[in-house]
Structure 1
Amino acid sequence: MNPALLADLVRSTASEVLTDRGLDLAALPDDVGVERPRNPEHGDYATNVALRTAKKAGVPPRELAGWLAEALAARDAIESAEIAGPGFINLRLAADAQGAIVGDVLQAGDAYGTGDELADRNINLEFVSANPTGPLHLGHTRWAAVGDALGRVLAARGGKVTREYYFNDAGGQIDRFVDSLVAAAKGEPTPENGYGGAYIGEIAAQITTAEPGVLDLPDAQRREEFRRIGVNLMFDEIKRALHAFGTDFDVWFHEKSLHDSGAVGAAVQRLKDSGNLYFSDGAWWLRSTDQGDDKDRPVIKSDGQPAYIAGDLAYYLDKRKRGFDLCIYMLGADHHGYIARLRAAAAAFGDDPNTVEVLIGQMVNLFRDGQPVRMSKRAGTAVSMDDLVDAVGVDAARYTLIRSSVDSTLDIDLDLIVRRSNDNPVFYVQYAHARLASLARNAADLGVTVPDVPDFGLLDQPREGDLIRTIGEFPAVVASAAELREPHRVARYLEQLASAYHKFYDACRVLPIGDEEISDLHRNRLALCVAARQVFANGLSLLGVSAPERM
């Protein structure tokens, strides 16, 4: 019995108790919950339903808890129910009811952990969206890992997810990029506020090789050629690095297309017509303070040129026209002000501001031998995605970047994440899967198979129960990760599952030794191991991390 079914059983039992006692059924909360107690000696699960119901029902909590405990203990799936503290109820499941979780996993397979609560949501998930002016740095790499994992988690719970990359290929940063390329091609120093690093010289050399006479062209034509070819080469480099990192996008959206098509002008005019922009000091302003911004933002500057937010307005409107009812933006630490601005954009177009969600990610710092790693010879100013992957590999990089909340700055110990020991979280989790794969191979060699008709009542040892209950939590963990937009919850859960499995493996022998006859206990323990392996594979897949067969 998984936690969701147990919660249903507790609620239905509480409903019967209230009815039998002539108490108001409305006192019973809709979301009756069960959770695993911190101390396993207190039981398999605990519920506070009596505490939450007693006041409205007009009875003392411990008295109501006593009635509920008696009724629950009479259920076939419940081995015991005991009152604790002011009115908690500690529950122990019958072994066969608890073991049914194993059957659920074996039946669901790859679908175990999925759900449909987001089935009615059409989600645009925009992440990374780095300017095409240089290689992806560590901040972009964190979003590439976390964003991809979040997309997988949202899809697992039924959401229709479109992963989108927004290329900022218009504006002053592109002009500085072009100036830097031209200077490098001429052998001149990097312009003030330009881009340095070996990659600028590499791209400039590719352009002059492809177009030998490009430096002899008139200035405007020369700059246009460097812009066209250079930006495309940088696009290709970014796409290559992301694909190698296991992160692919459904849509590559170009900011320049919004300006070229007139979409920016149309969006601004729509807001003028609706009165959602106001004119002051020669400029047109969006009332972003209405959504918590520290000041209103200019959309059309006093010189008549669109401000950067004008493109954001058109881009949001374009997303809505494409049918997205939830637009999630994943932005860097220096973009906190965009939360209010983007919500204000939604409100200005007549939408619920909650149509927009903005996730802000903090910085990533690398350390080796206790010293910070700062410079990349190729990028010039920061450690790049390729630098990190070259140092630790894709799996270790992705897992390490995902397993911590993006709300906090992340310090990565390069020495730790390449270590093949239990101190390294990604190794700890992947090794558990590899150990299970090895066990499956050994079972096949010995002729031990999963029983056609399992007897999960045989799985009554404490370590078996711990592992089963941990397996049973996986769907709720994935649902929570989707609801809170926190894929790190899946990684932390897998580490708990690995701990439960390693302890089980050390305490419970799965396969026969020597001439020992194959028993039903061997077969049912193998079924538990197959279920555990499935959950590891499902969880690692959600993170975009491999589940190795051997290590």
Structure 2
Amino acid sequence: MTPADLAELLKNTAAAVLASHDLDTAALPATVTVERPRNPEHGDYATNLALQVGKKVGANPRELAGWLAEALTAADGIASAEVAGPGFVNLRLEASAQNTLVENVISAGQAYGRSDALAGTNINLEFVSANPTGPIHIGGTRWAAVGDALGRLLSTQGADVVREYYFNDHGAQIDRFARSLVAAAKGEPAPEDGYAGAYIGDIAAQVQAKAPDVMSQPADEQQETFREIGVDLMFTHIKESLHEFGTDFDVFTHEDSMHTSGRVDEAIAQLRRTGNIYEKDGATWLRTTEFGDDKDRVVIKSDGQPAYIAGDLAYYLDKRARGFDLCIYMLGADHHGYIARLKAAAAALGDDPDTVEVLIGQMVNLVRDGQPVRMSKRAGTVITLDDLVEALGVDAARYSLTRSSVDTPIDIDLELWSSASSENPVYYVQYAHARLSALARNAADLGLSASTEHLELLTHDKEGTLVRSIGEFPRVLKTAADLREPHRICRYLEDLAGDYHRFYDSCRVLPQGDEESTDLNAARLALCQATRQVIANGLSILGVSAPERM
């Protein structure tokens, strides 16, 4: 019995109890919460349902909890149900109800934990989208890890997810990039508003290799050559770095295409038809304050040039035209104002603003020996994706960036995350998987195999705890997906690894010496097989490897 099964049983039982006392069953919540108590002595699971609905239906919560406990005790799979405090119900499951979980995990394999909660939902997930004027910095690297994990996570719930990179190749920053390349090619300092770092010289040299006559071209033509070839080279490097990091995209959309294709003009024309565009001070404005923004936004500036939001409007319409039900934007810490702006834009275009979600990621800092690490070898003043991978490797880099809520700034201790110790969270989880893999190999060498035939023999407290831990996985995935918080998977895996290590220390899995193999050994091997599968499934969602040897 999974927590989801238990929640369903609890809801049905509560409905029957309320009806039998002529109380309103409509007061029951859509989803019933079932949690594992912090103190195992209180039971396997607990619920506060009686506290939630007691006052709503005119019943004393503790009395209602008593009615629930009495009815639940008679249900299949429930060993006991007891009232605690002002109206909690503590539940203990029969061993048979718990141990079917082991069979379910082994049977489902890689599919264990998945659901169809988001089936039929088409999601556009846009993340990273760094300017093509330099390598991806560490803030963008955080999105590369978290965004990719979120895409995998949403897919486990049945959603159709398209990962998209918005290539910002329109605007003044591209001109500054081209001027910086020209300056590097001439051996001159970077322009005051340009880009520095050894990578600029590298790209300038590559442009000259691809266009040997570039330095003899007229100034305007020369800058265009450096712009066109240089941006392509930079973007190629970005895509290669992301691929080596384990993050690949389904679609790359060019901002410039929004302007050259006429889609910006189409978006503005649509807004004019709805009356949400007006002229003021020689500029064209969007009435975003009508839809929750703090101020109206300029769409076309007084000099006739489109403002950045003009491309956003066209891009949003483009996404909707491609059939996406939900557009998730993952933006940096300096883009807080975009939340209201993008939602207002969707509303102004006649859509539900909730078709837009904006996630804001906070800063990342690297530290070594307690001191901040500030300089990159190639980029001059920023830490890049390549720097982080060189320092930690892909697995530790991805895990360290995904492990915390994105709305929290994080410090990554390079010594900790590169260490082979239980203090290193990713090593701790991966070691549990490697230890389970070694156990399976040793069992095979002894001619032993896992069996679910006698799971009723798993009666040790540490076995029960481990079974309940693997049973939590589907709920963790659904909650993490609903809240867009893949870091919950990291914390779950660390708890699961801890429960496994404690089980292994207390429960002998393989016979020793001349001991005969027993049904208990086979049952414990099955529990270990299920645990190994869940750890592998969780690491896969994070884009982190599940090593068989360490």
Class of the TM-score when normalised by the shorter of the 2 chains: over 0.9
Cα deviation 1:294-337 (Å, max 9, x = unaligned): 32110011111111111111111111111111000000001111
CA distance in 2, matches of 1:372, 1:28: 52
> Structure 1 residue 294 and structure 2 residue 294: aligned?
yes
1:406 and 1:319 map into 2 onto residues whose CA distance is: 24
1:26 to 1:183, Cα distance in 2 relative to 1, 3 A:
closer
Instruction: Report the Cα offset of residue 383 of structure 1.
Output: 0.8
Instruction: Quote the residue 2:120 is aligned against.
Output: 120
1:240-281 per-position Cα deviation (integer Å, ceiling 9, x unaligned):
000000000000111111111111122112212321111111
Give matches, 1:56-95, under 5 Å.
56-95=56-95
Deviation at 1:205, TM superposition (A): 0.6
- Residues in 2 aligned to 1:312 and 1:58: alpha-carbon distance in whole angstroms: 51
Query: Which residue of the partner structure matches residue 53 of structure 2?
Result: 53
Residue 15 of structure 1 deviates from its aligned partner by 3.0
Deviation at 1:24, TM superposition (A): 4.0
TM-fit CA distance, 1:223:
1.3
| Residue equivalent to 1:454 | 453
Using the TM superposition, give the Cα deviation of residue 20 of structure 1 relative to its aligned residue in structure 2, in angstroms. Answer: 3.9
Q: Which residue of 1 aligns with 2:280?
A: 280
The AA in structure 1 aligned to 2:119 is A
Distance in 1 (CA, whole Å) between partners of 2:66 and 2:354 is 44
Contact 2:288/2:348, CA 8 A, preserved across alignment: no
> How far does residue 338 in structure 1 lie from its aligned partner after superposition?
1.0
**Does 48-57 or 149-158 show the bigger shift?**
48-57
Between the aligned partners of 1:118 and 1:243, the Cα distance in structure 2 is 27
Deviates more, 1:338-347 or 1:164-173: 338-347
1:180-191 to 2 correspondence within 5 Å?
180-191=180-191
Query: By how many angstroms is 1:55 displaced?
Result: 2.9
Find the counterpart in structure 1 of residue 471 from structure 2.
472
For residue 46 of structure 2, give the secondary structure of its aligned residue in structure 1.
strand
Where structure 2 has 5 or more consecutive residues not aligned to the other structure, the ranges are none
Q: Could you say what secondary structure the match of 1:431 adopts?
A: helix
> Cα gap change, 1:275/1:15 in structure 2, threshold over 3 Å: closer, same or farther?
closer
Seen in structure 2, the aligned counterparts of structure 1 residues 332 and 56 have a Cα distance that, compared at 3 Å, is closer
Partner of 1:530: 529
- Pairing 1:195–2:195 present: yes
* Contact 1:459/1:524, CA 8 A, preserved across alignment: yes
Q: Structure 1 stretch 21-30 or stretch 231-240: which is displaced more?
A: 21-30
Query: What CA distance in whole angstroms lies between the structure 1 residues aligned with 2:296 and 2:67?
Result: 59
TM-superposition CA deviations, 1:132-172 (whole Å, max 9, x none): 00011100100000000000000110110000000111110
Query: 2:56 and 2:348 mapped to 1: Cα distance?
Result: 43
3-state SS of 2:116 partner: coil
TM-score w.r.t. structure 1 length? 0.98
Matches within 5 A, 1:398-547: 398-451=398-451, 453-547=452-546
Q: Which moved more, 1:11-20 or 1:170-179?
A: 11-20
Once residues 254 and 53 of structure 2 are traced to their aligned partners in structure 1, the CA distance between those partners, rounded to angstroms, is 55
The AA in structure 1 aligned to 2:388 is: L
Q: SS at 2:201's partner residue?
A: helix
Greater Cα shift, 294-303 or 16-25: 16-25
Letter in structure 1 aligned against 2:476:
V
Alignment partners' CA distance in 2, 1:124 and 1:501: 37
Partner of 1:244: 244
CA distance 1:496–1:331, shift in 2 (3 Å): same
Per-residue CA deviations over 1:331-389 (Å, capped at 9, x if unaligned) read 00011111111111101110001111010000100000111100113101201110110
1:238 maps to amino acid: I
Q: 2 CA distance for matches of 1:385 and 1:26?
A: 52
Aligned residues: 550
What is the 5 A alignment of 1:32-51? 32-51=32-51
Decide whether aligned partners of structure 1 residues 178 and 34 sit closer, same or farther in structure 2, where only a CA change above 3 A counts. same
**Is the counterpart of residue 346 in structure 1 residue 342 in structure 2?**
no
Shift, 1:8, TM fit: 1.7
Q: CA deviation at 1:22?
A: 4.4
Q: What are the Cα deviations for residues 478-511 of structure 1, in whole angstroms up to 9, with x where unaligned?
A: 1111111111011111011011111111111111
Deviates more, 1:190-199 or 1:56-65: 56-65
| Aligned equivalent of 1:158 | 158
| Cα distance in 2 for residues equivalent to 1:198 and 1:27 | 65
Which residue in the other structure is 2:261 paired with? 261
In terms of mean alpha carbon deviation, does 409-418 or 7-16 score higher? 7-16
Give, in whole Å, the separation in 2 of the partners of 1:527 and 1:3: 20
Residue identity over aligned pairs, in percent, reads 69
Distance in 2 between residues matched to 1:272 and 1:53, nearest whole Å:
49
The offset of 1:80, in angstroms, is: 1.3
RMSD, aligned CA = 1.3
Written as runs of structure 1 = structure 2, the 5 A alignment for 1:344-383 is 344-383=344-383
**Contact kept? 2:127, 2:331, Cα under 8 Å:** yes
Task: Output one character per residue of 1:413-444: Cα deviation in whole Å (capped at 9) or x when no partner.
Answer: 00000111110000000000000000000111
Given that residues 96 and 455 in structure 1 are in contact (C-alpha distance below 8 angstroms), is that contact kept between their aligned partners in structure 2?
Answer: no
The residue identity in structure 2 corresponding to 1:101 is L
Could you tell me how far apart the structure 1 residues matched to 2:81 and 2:93 are?
A: 9
Alpha-carbon contact 2:333-2:361 (below 8 Å) kept: yes
SS in structure 2 at match of 1:421: coil
Higher alpha-carbon deviation: 115-124 or 45-54: 45-54
CA 292–58 in structure 1, closer or farther in 2 if over 3 Å, else same: closer
For 1:253 and 1:115, locate their aligned partners in 2 and report how far apart those are by CA, in whole Å.
Answer: 30
Q: 1 CA distance for matches of 2:24 and 2:358?
A: 42
Tell me the residue number matched to 2:315: 315
Q: Is the 8 A contact 1:271 1:349 kept in 2?
A: yes
Q: SS at 1:550's partner residue?
A: coil
Distance across 1 between alignment mates of 2:253 and 2:302 = 28
Deviation at 1:219, TM superposition (A): 1.4
Letter in 2 for 1:472: G
Q: Structure 1 stretches of 5 or more lacking a match?
A: none
Please say if residues 490 and 539 of structure 1, whose CA atoms lie closer than 8 Å, have aligned partners that are also in contact. yes
User: 1 CA distance for matches of 2:504 and 2:518?
Assistant: 17
Distance 1:59 1:146 in 2: 45
Within 1, Cα distance between the matches of 2:56 and 2:345?
A: 43
Q: Match for 2:66: what amino acid?
A: G
AA partner of residue 470 (structure 1): S
In the alignment, is the contact (CA less than 8 A) between 1:277 and 1:284 conserved in 2?
yes
Amino acid at match of 2:528: C
Instruction: Give the secondary-structure state (helix, strand or coil) at the position aligned to 1:408.
Output: coil
**Contact 1:289/1:340, CA 8 A, preserved across alignment:** no
Distance 1:52 1:304 in 2: 58
Which stretch of the first structure deviates more once superposed, 254-263 or 153-162? 254-263
Give the structure 1 partner of residue 98 of structure 2: 98
Alignment partners' CA distance in 2, 1:335 and 1:62:
48
Q: Does 1:215 align with 2:220?
A: no
CA contact (8 A) 2:291 2:348 kept: no
| Structure-1 separation of matches of 2:194 and 2:411 | 29
- Structure 1 239/133 Cα, relative in aligned 2: closer, same or farther at 3 Å? same
The corresponding residue for 2:549 is: 550
